[in-house]
């Protein structure tokens, strides 16, 4: 595995997790709260269109690389989070701890299917 230079992580992203809260009517709702704001690289791959219930949506797989931090130690917990970047939302589908060395995390995410 090659070392990654700081200049390659040139996008500032926010990792968010879903948190339960109560609205003004006393109903439980889910909101997204910020977990961390980190530097990342974002590399889109080839997208595809999905047809469901007479609506077309775009699945744009994206690879997001960030430096490992202790708060990202559980891949299952990170896979339930999402990435906010420049007004865009990316749903995290899988997480890879590069070489299990706790140096880099690769997030496979998609944009456009839902809002997290």
Give the list of residues 6+ apart from residue 97 with CB closer than 8 angstroms, or none.
68, 75, 104, 105
For residues 65 and 95, what is the distance between their CA atoms, to the nearest angstrom? 10
- Residue 7's pLDDT is 83
Paired strand residues for 105: 66, 97
- Residue 91's pLDDT is 93
- Residue 65's pLDDT is 95
Contact 90, 82 (CB under 8 A): yes
Average pLDDT per 10 consecutive residues for the chain, totaling 116 residues: 75 94 86 95 72 55 93 91 94 90 92 62
> What value, to the nearest 5°, has the Cα angle with vertex 29 and ends 23 and 72?
125
- Residue 13's pLDDT is 97
- Residue 61's pLDDT is 85
């Amino acid at each position: 595995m090659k070392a990654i230079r700081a200049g390659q992580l040139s996008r500032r992203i926010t990792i968010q997790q879903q948190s339960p809260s109560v609205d003004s009517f006393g109903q439980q709702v889910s909101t997204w709260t910020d977990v961390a704001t980190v530097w990342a690289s974002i590399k889109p791959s080839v997208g595809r269109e999905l047809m469901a219930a007479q609506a077309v949506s775009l699945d744009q797989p994206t690879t997001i690389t960030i430096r490992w931090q202790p708060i990202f130690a559980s891949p299952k917990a990170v896979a339930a989070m999402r990435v906010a970047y420049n007004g865009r939302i990316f749903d995290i589908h899988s997480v890879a701890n590069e070489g299990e060395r706790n140096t880099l995390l690769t997030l496979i995410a998609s944009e456009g299917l839902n809002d997290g």
